[in-house]
Amino acid sequence: MPLLFKKVKDLRNYLHGLKCERGLSVGFVPTMGYLHEGHKALIKNSKIQNDITIVSVYVNPTQFGPGEDYERYPRDLDRDMAVCEELGVDAVFAPTDEEMYPEGFRTEVYVKGISEVLEGKFRPGHFKGVATIVLKLLNAVQPDRVYFGEKDYQQLKLVERMVRDLLLPVEIVPVPVVREPDGLAYSSRNVYLSGEERESALSIYRSFLLAQEMINQGERRSEVIKKEIERFILSHPHVKKIDYVEITDSELNPKDIVDKGDRILVAVWVGNTRLIDNWKVS
Ligand code: PAF
């Protein structure tokens, strides 16, 4: 079993010996637990590139808005520990709320601009919570490399911006979206979907294939492609609404004309579950 730390102080003591005395490199995978194949890909990359791999498991309350799924977000630390053991993770950091947000906590990190668009428009305050906890976790672990999935593409870009702006001495390693064999992107929230809803959720991946095919055939107008994605996804039962379909360059600037390397980003409600996904145009 990996070591389990609940306190920053104990984690730091453990890491101090490994980094300062033995000169070992540290890879870090921050998660909210309920680990799936997407997380496993992050962990496997870290295992290859570093001597030591640390995984954090913490459902961060400040990145959930009122009425969101903080309470029902799936949690199972024993299961996560077993996954980490199977993959050879060295230590898991699973702090309590008191440890991360002790009485009197007042500091927040806000990354301007990127926090307000796309997800930020629909989840006000979300990225402030993400930036704050990611900075805290990075300070607790002080890794050489940190691993983020491209599934949460805007989160990845936000963290890249914060790391550059605040001169944090860490390398960010992006890892491509991992999909189930039928194309559904792995997400801890997939457990909320009924069988029928899951079937409708596949429309997201299929709409990306459709869009890519349009682009392959020569269509490059974003408006036309976005309309087709929306029409296709909304034609499926259980799809309640689409929060957004956007096409941007790799830095999240909206594009009118699509090029290779651009991103298609969507947020879709299937039943009561909000799913996000994105596609790199090739
Ligand atoms: O992507 C996630 O699981 C979370 O947003 C993160 C990065 C662990 C911060 O709570």
User: For residue 166, what pLDDT is reported?
Assistant: 98
Asked whether residue 193 is domain-assigned, the answer is yes
For the question of residue 39 being annotated catalytic, the response is yes
Instruction: Kindly state whether residues 28 and 159 are assigned to the same domain.
Output: yes
Co-location of 153 and 213 in the same domain: no
Do 36 and 91 lie in one domain? The reply is yes
Outline where DSSP puts E strands in the chain: 3-5, 26-31, 52-57, 91-93, 145-149, 171-175, 239-248, 263-270, 273-280
Residue pair 55/92 in contact by the 8 Å Cβ criterion: yes
* pLDDT for the residue 269: 98
Residues recorded for the chain: 282
Question: Do residues 164 and 239 share a domain?
Answer: no
- In this structure, which residue's CA is closest to atom 8 in ligand 1? 31
For residue 82, the CA-to-ligand 1 centroid distance in Å is 20
Is residue 183 situated within a structural domain? Answer: no
Coil, strand or helix: which one is 218? coil
pLDDT value for 174: 98
Return the pLDDT at 77: 98
> Which of 154, 175, 196 finishes a domain?
175
Ligand 1 pocket test: which of 151, 152, 153 has the largest number of ligand atoms within 8 Å of its C-beta? Answer: 152
Q: Are residues 150 and 227 in the same domain?
A: no
Is residue 221 located within the same domain as residue 144?
no
| Dihedral pair phi/psi, residue 33, rounded to 5° | 80, -165
Catalytic residue among 16, 39, 126, 236: 39
The residue to mutate among 31, 59, 123, 170, having the most atoms of ligand 1 within 8 angstroms of its beta carbon, is 31
Determine, yes or no, domain membership for 131.
Answer: yes
Å from CA of 172 to ligand 1 middle: 14
pLDDT at 145: 99
Q: Are residues 14 and 146 in the same domain?
A: yes
133 lines ligand 1 (CB under 6 A): yes
How high is the pLDDT of residue 282?
98
Tell me, yes or no, whether 148 and 69 share the same domain: yes
Task: Report d(CA 44, CA 38) in Å as an integer.
Answer: 10
Atom 2 of ligand 1: nearest residue by CA position? 31
Identify the pLDDT of residue 197: 98
Whether 154 is in the pocket of ligand 1, judged by its Cβ within 6 Å, is: no
237 and 130 in a common domain: no
Per-residue pLDDT in tens (0 to 9) along the chain, 282 residues: 999 999 999 999 999 999 988 999 999 999 999 999 999 999 999 999 999 999 999 999 999 999 999 999 999 999 999 999 999 999 999 999 999 999 999 999 999 999 999 999 999 999 999 999 999 999 999 999 999 999 999 999 999 999 999 999 999 999 999 999 999 999 999 999 999 999 999 999 999 999 999 999 999 999 999 999 999 999 999 999 999 999 999 999 999 999 999 999 999 999 999 999 999 999
State both tokens at 262. Answer: 């651009």
| Same domain for 212 and 162 | no
**pLDDT for residue 167:** 98
- Ligand 1 centre and the CA of 6: distance in Å? 17
- Name which of 267, 268, 262 is nearest 282 in CA terms: 262
Last residue of some domain: 175, 209, 239? 175
* pLDDT of res. 58: 99
In one letter, which amino acid is 110? Answer: Y
Cβ–ligand 1 distance for 131 under 6 Å, the answer: no
Separation of CA 206 and ligand 1 centre (Å): 26
Q: Which domain holds residue 240?
A: 188-277
Q: Which of 175, 205, 230 is a domain's end point?
A: 175
Query: pTM value?
Result: 0.98
How many domains is the chain partitioned into structurally? 2
Q: What is residue 60's predicted lDDT score, i.e. its pLDDT?
A: 98
